Amino acid sequence: MTRVMLVYPKDIAETYYAKRPVMGIAYVGTALHVKNHLVELLDMRIKGCDLDYFRERLKEFRPDFVGFSIAALSLEQAYAMMDIVKKETSAKIVAGGPEVTLVPKKILSNPNVDFVFAGEGEISFREFLECHENGKDYSKISGLGFKKNGSLHFNNPKPIEDLDSLPFPDWDLFPLKKYKKTPDKIKFPILTSRGCPYSCKFCDSSVINGVYRARSPKNVADELEQVHKKYGNRNFQIMDDNFAVYNKRAIAICDEIINRKLGITWVVGQGFSPSKGSYELFKKMYDAGCRVVYFGIESADDEVLRAINKPHTVAQVRAAVKAAKAAGLIVKAPFISGLPKSNYEKEKKYIDFFKELDIDMPKMGQLIPFPGTEMYEWVMKNAKPLMDVDKIHEKASQTRGALDTDLFKPAFETDDFKVAERVKILKEFQNESEKWILQKTFGRFFGIIAFYFSRNRRIRALGVKFLDAYYGQY
């Protein structure tokens, strides 16, 4: 029996404790657990999970392998934890996650890292452990990167075609009471599909998650029903890159939920293309318990949308937001500052746009060029980086929104959109969006008062918690 500890490090942009277990290591850990490996999942975002706690768990669990799920902003803590593993145990270190898939050579070059897995790890990591236990050759396993005779070797990852074949995440592998006192209050995450069929130039989804694949509506509803009955929770968050690629499938999922009379609520917490929106779909989603939809709007200018290959137009955004709100849904929408063909004058109009459409929760983040994307190449050719290009995605947060954070430190500038204007629009948009959200919540007069009080950090922290609970969008 191989002892495997899977770790999700805390990233430098997180300013709050985790509210739910993390999806990635849940899937991989479950895939190993059902094959009788001894698994411990460690979410470093949980309150009290510092490096001393990590040392204690290493000493008590005595893992043979320690796997790290790494994103760009969690590299700092991941590397610190790897140092501890190498100094205090004999365990081998395995790395996976988005950053490994984007830049596998960089991660495997770290002297502490023994193996990496690009792409999805449920099957490949399990096969690797079976080879290790039986002394078999593992060099041909898909997605695996390893060191041999002083050289780095990499195998191309293969996407898992049949997502219905994967076991549902076993949430009991996490200390659920450390997220909420009672598990029935947890908004458990769920993936109904992986990947995205679109090719937006700024997005790293197609690189990280591969081709679009979808679970059957029955399989999705089976998981929702199982988790709901086991823990008594009534809230879920769908984490798909794009939930409604096929409207008929989305409606079929809703029908499964309705026909089973689950009585749950759920939010579409990530991308939903406005080009796929319709009143019929949104009304069905609402009837099935959906309460929040997150539109990947990005820009309110058609020239900008065409420049980044977004699969929608401004007219489609208007129609989709109108239909969603008519169906009773809360609308959350991100805008990205600094996209090609954009400038201060265009982005200033985004403020009027979200007010005109009555978007409930508008946000703006700066453009972050990720390695492996077309946007990374565009920045290299057309922009003046304000920090090391290869380090931008490690140091600059796309959406972090405190008062004086990296949100206001643009990663680059262009001749027609200088850094001063980029900082200016980010601050203006954030101020206007915060006023807007608070006035929609507390009314015009008390909303303004709440906004000015929110300039105080302690009051702001309490306000963020209140809005989080009020809207339930996270």
Please tell me whether residues 128 and 221 are part of one structural domain. no
**pLDDT tops 80 at residue 11:** yes
| pLDDT (tens digit per residue) in 400-430 | 444 444 445 788 899 999 999 999 999 999 9
Q: Which amino acid is at 113?
A: V
| Helical packing angle, 279-287 and 247-259, nearest 10° | 20
| pLDDT (tens digit per residue) in 210-244 | 789 999 999 999 999 999 999 999 999 999 999 99
Q: What is the mean pLDDT of residues 189-201?
A: 92
Question: Bigger pLDDT: 40 or 449?
Answer: 40
**Is the C-alpha dihedral spanning 375, 206, 75, 179 positive or negative?**
positive
Give the confidence band of 327 by pLDDT, cuts at 50, 70, 90: very high
Please tell me whether residues 130 and 196 are part of one structural domain. no
Q: What is the pLDDT of residue 134?
A: 93
What would the DSSP string read from start to end of 345-404? HHHHHHHHHHHHTT-SEEEEEE----TTSHHHHHHHHH-EESS-GGGHHHH--SS--STT
Asked if the structure places residue 177 within a domain, the reply is no
Q: What is the pLDDT of residue 474?
A: 40
Q: What is the pLDDT of residue 294?
A: 95
Residue-range definition of the domain harbouring residue 217: 187-471
**pLDDT tops 70 at residue 397:** no
Asked if the structure places residue 172 within a domain, the reply is no
Q: What is the CA radius of gyration of the chain?
A: 22
| pLDDT (tens digit per residue) in 429-455 | 999 999 999 999 889 888 899 888 877
Asked if the structure places residue 171 within a domain, the reply is no
Residue that terminates a domain, selected from 98, 130, 154: 154
Asked if the structure places residue 267 within a domain, the reply is yes
Report the percentage of the chain scoring pLDDT > 90: 78
Q: What is the mean pLDDT of residues 10-17?
A: 76
Asked if the structure places residue 444 within a domain, the reply is yes
Q: What is the mean pLDDT of residues 333-344?
A: 95
Q: What is the mean pLDDT of residues 8-15?
A: 82
Please tell me whether residues 144 and 286 are part of one structural domain. no
Q: What is the pLDDT of residue 404?
A: 45
**pLDDT tops 90 at residue 321:** yes
Residue that terminates a domain, selected from 154, 172, 200: 154
When divided into structural domains, the chain yields a total of 2
Q: What is the mean pLDDT of residues 174-180?
A: 95
Tokens of 41: 């999942």
**pLDDT tops 90 at residue 340:** yes
**pLDDT tops 70 at residue 396:** no
Q: What is the pLDDT of residue 399?
A: 45
Residue that terminates a domain, selected from 154, 178, 211: 154
Q: Are 344 and 425 in contact (CB under 8 A)?
A: yes
Question: Bigger pLDDT: 396 or 209?
Answer: 209
The DSSP secondary-structure symbol of 10 reads: P
Please tell me whether residues 391 and 260 are part of one structural domain. yes
Please tell me whether residues 110 and 221 are part of one structural domain. no
Please give the Cα distance from 221 to 363 (Å, whole number): 31
Other beta carbons within 10 Å of 88 = 12
Q: What is the mean pLDDT of residues 259-269?
A: 96
Please tell me whether residues 101 and 213 are part of one structural domain. no
- For residue 298, list its beta bridge partners: 335
Please tell me whether residues 279 and 148 are part of one structural domain. no
Q: What is the pLDDT of residue 355?
A: 97
Asked if the structure places residue 321 within a domain, the reply is yes
Kindly tell me the burial class for residue 83, based on how many C-beta atoms sit within 10 Å of its own C-beta (0-12, 13-18, 19 or more): exposed
Please tell me whether residues 261 and 375 are part of one structural domain. yes
Q: What is the pLDDT of residue 446?
A: 87
Give the confidence band of 259 by pLDDT, cuts at 50, 70, 90: very high
Q: What is the pLDDT of residue 400?
A: 43
Tell me, what CATH number does 18's domain have?
3.40.50.280
Q: Are 331 and 359 in contact (CB under 8 A)?
A: yes
| pLDDT (tens digit per residue) in 116-156 | 999 999 999 999 999 999 999 999 999 999 999 999 999 99
Q: What is the pLDDT of residue 182?
A: 93
Other beta carbons within 10 Å of 221 = 23
| pLDDT (tens digit per residue) in 74-112 | 999 999 999 999 999 999 999 999 999 999 999 999 999
Asked if the structure places residue 168 within a domain, the reply is no
Give the confidence band of 271 by pLDDT, cuts at 50, 70, 90: confident
Please tell me whether residues 148 and 194 are part of one structural domain. no
Please tell me whether residues 266 and 326 are part of one structural domain. yes
| pLDDT (tens digit per residue) in 290-308 | 999 999 999 999 999 999 9
CA angle, 133 then 152 then 150, to 5°: 90
Q: What is the mean pLDDT of the chain?
A: 91
**pLDDT tops 80 at residue 467:** no
Please tell me whether residues 209 and 123 are part of one structural domain. no
Report the percentage of the chain scoring pLDDT > 70: 93
Asked if the structure places residue 436 within a domain, the reply is yes
Please tell me whether residues 244 and 333 are part of one structural domain. yes
Tell me, what CATH number does 295's domain have?
3.80.30.20
